[in-house]
Structure 1
């Protein structure tokens, strides 16, 4: 998936000479956590978070004369330079930037101009969509040898039951000779599939592979 499919094109921006108070009002009005600072050509100059604004704002317990701080220019507290991404970057790759740099917002730049933003909340929501956890479904984890052709073999069991697969994930296993296939399937009664997988000799990690004792 590309960044252009995920990014928010309704950007909230401010010029560098805007005041801290203006930023504070925008953050509260739009219920956002970041404002990108741009020049007249929409080139990214910096970024300001709600924490930056909060830290720069005077305490309500101080004398009212201290509130002149809110009239300072936003460029005095913005973070610059800014890490930016491109609309044609892969979402999977920018996820690592969020993690590695410990940031919560990335401006999207094309031809030197701001065209969108992506936040960590956007990334989290997309992960929810990709894994299908927002749909009514069942989860099945299957341990398979790390060999070619395992995915279609396991998936054929779901096909035999005429059940749609919502998502498939591949995880490493503690033993490098194996992988974990995680299926989310569109059924609330996965037991017939689970039984067939067990009968085919597959080890299930969820539901666990312990069979119920015979009566």
Structure 2
């Protein structure tokens, strides 16, 4: 999946000379948490978060509130330089940037021009779609040898039952490189017949492994 498929293109921006109170107003009115700061050519030169604005705002506990603090230009509190991503980057790859850098959003840039933005919420929604948990389905986890052709062998069993696979994920098995875990989400609320077929082929079913499933098989 590409970034251009999940990014928001209607991005609210400010110039570096805009006042902090303007950012505060936009954040509150639009229920957003970040505002990219762009120059006259729409090039991203900084970014401001709701925390940046909150930290720059006078404390509500001050007896005398100095509103002049909010009249300072936004460039005095913006974060820079800004890490950006491209519309044709893979979502799975930029997920590592969110994790490793602990960012809450990333501006999307093409030819040095701001064209969109991706947030943590966008990433979480995409993860839900990729894992198939947004549709009614059943999950089956299988421990398999890590060898060529194993995925095709397992999916052929689902094919014989004409079961629709919503998603497939592959995880390492603990610290043993000889095995992998295949996680299937299938569009059926009663996976018993598929599980029976998998057991008959001597596959190790890790989930579901509750007593009611074991007793019925």
* TM-score, normalised by the number of residues in structure 1: 0.95
The answer (yes or no) to whether the contact 2:59–2:65 under 8 Å persists in 1 is no
1:49 partnered with 2:49: yes
The answer (yes or no) to whether the contact 2:58–2:65 under 8 Å persists in 1 is no
- Name the SS for the 1:22 alignment partner: helix
Alignment of 1:90-169 (within 5 A): 90-169=90-169
Query: Structure 1 unaligned runs (5+)?
Result: none
- Name the SS for the 2:66 alignment partner: helix
The answer (yes or no) to whether the contact 2:3–2:86 under 8 Å persists in 1 is yes
Structure 1 runs of 4+ off > 4 angstroms? none
- Name the SS for the 2:205 alignment partner: strand
- Name the SS for the 1:142 alignment partner: strand
Query: Structure 2 unaligned runs (5+)?
Result: none
Paired with 1:161 and 1:58, the residues of 2 have a C-alpha distance of 65
- Name the SS for the 1:18 alignment partner: coil
- Name the SS for the 2:11 alignment partner: coil
2:36 equivalent in structure 1: 36
1:12 equivalent in structure 2: 12
The CA deviation string for residues 81-131 of structure 1, in whole angstroms up to 9 with x for no partner, is: 100111111111111111111111111111111011111111111010011
1:83 partnered with 2:83: yes
How many residues were matched structurally?
A: 214
Change (3 A) 1:44 1:199: same
The answer (yes or no) to whether the contact 2:13–2:35 under 8 Å persists in 1 is yes
CA RMSD of aligned residues (A): 1.5
Paired with 1:89 and 1:17, the residues of 2 have a C-alpha distance of 31
Change (3 A) 1:78 1:152: same
Per the TM alignment, residue 161 of structure 1 is displaced from its structure 2 partner at its CA by 1.3
The CA deviation string for residues 148-200 of structure 1, in whole angstroms up to 9 with x for no partner, is: 11111111111111110000001011221010110000011111111111111
2:170 equivalent in structure 1: 170
The answer (yes or no) to whether the contact 1:108–1:115 under 8 Å persists in 2 is yes
1:201 partnered with 2:202: yes
